[in-house]
Structure 1
């Protein structure tokens, strides 16, 4: 999947590295005696939010899926892209959901979770 941010094509990859990036950014963390441990589960939290049309979650998913771009857009760039009235956000929600459902790494979690 590709989007155009700041007039540059941005490739989106929803594979294992995407899930690692998402876990790093939004994973479930637990702090025990000052030691923080990340337990992942970010995709599990994100799928119901995506199905509820949570734009902040969509922005995080796009940012994490852009991990393999030589010039990765910043989170602010992604936010501005989503705020742009020319961006068809309804279609983008549908497209990202379809990509997650077709991704070998994400499809089972996406299929089994409902909003």
Structure 2
């Protein structure tokens, strides 16, 4: 995924290294034990709930492995000023759903939501 921010193109990749960073920084914690389910238990539901803090964090971590690094401040300013914030959330969710690292988590979450509705 690529975004043009301040006339500069930044790349974002939601692969295994991204998931590793998510799990390290945003683990699921139960009874003092940390589990590596940050993507499926925290990030995806928060993105679906349009949490801009999570969006900024996801973009920052998705950019960590790329050549041109973007700062949290630049991302925050971009999110504050982007004209189609809903489209940005949709694009990130689409990229997560299409990546090998995010595909299964997205599918499992959708299936869990379907079961919960029935």
Asked if TM exceeds 0.5, the reply is yes
TM-score, normalised via structure 1 length: 0.83
Check conservation: 1:21, 1:67, Cα contact below 8 A.
no
Alpha-carbon shift at residue 31 of structure 1 (Å): 8.9
**Residue 71 (structure 1) aligned to one of 68, 76, 86:** 68
Look up the SS of the partner of 2:100 in the other structure: coil
CA RMSD of aligned residues (A): 2.0
Alpha-carbon shift at residue 74 of structure 1 (Å): 1.3
TM-score, normalised via structure 2 length: 0.81
Gaps of 5+ in 1: none
Distance 1:109 1:16 in 2: 12
The verdict on how the C-alpha distance between 1:39 and 1:11 changes in structure 2, with shifts beyond 3 A counting, is same
Q: Between the two structures, name the one with larger relative contact order (CA 8 Å, sep ≥ 6).
A: 1
Moved over 4 A (4+): 29-32
**Residue 42 (structure 1) aligned to one of 26, 38, 44:** 38
More helix, by proportion: 2
Match in the other structure for 1:92 = 88
Check conservation: 1:27, 1:41, Cα contact below 8 A.
yes
**1:64-96: CA deviations, max 9, x gaps?**
110122331111211111011x44211111111
